[in-house]
Amino acid sequence: MTPVILFKTETFEITINKIKNLADSKLRNSFVIILSIFKTADIFRREAVHKNGCNHEWHNPD
């Protein structure tokens, strides 16, 4: 199975455990997919939770 299919059909924990056993040639692709998933989740979170701005001090340095 490809990393994309694993992420679409399995839980995150199961997918990560299976990715660890993939051939080295598929590890880079898996890493890029994981980063893309986190990027999408972060964009969604920022638009949903922080749509009126963010007050965390580390996002607003002086």
CB of 1 within 8 A of CB of 18?
yes
Q: Classify 21 as helix, strand or coil.
A: coil
Q: At a CB cut-off of 8 Å and minimum separation 6, what does 6 contact?
A: 14, 15, 18, 19
In the chain, domain spans: 3-49
CA quadruple 8, 20, 31, 2: dihedral sign: negative
Q: From 46, 38, 45, select the one nearest 30 (Cα to Cα).
A: 38
Judged against a pLDDT cut of 90, whether residue 11 lies above it is answered with yes
Judged against a pLDDT cut of 90, whether residue 49 lies above it is answered with no
Q: Which residue has the tokens 């598929």?
A: 26
pLDDT at 62: 64
Q: How confident is the model at residue 56 (pLDDT cuts 50, 70, 90)?
A: confident
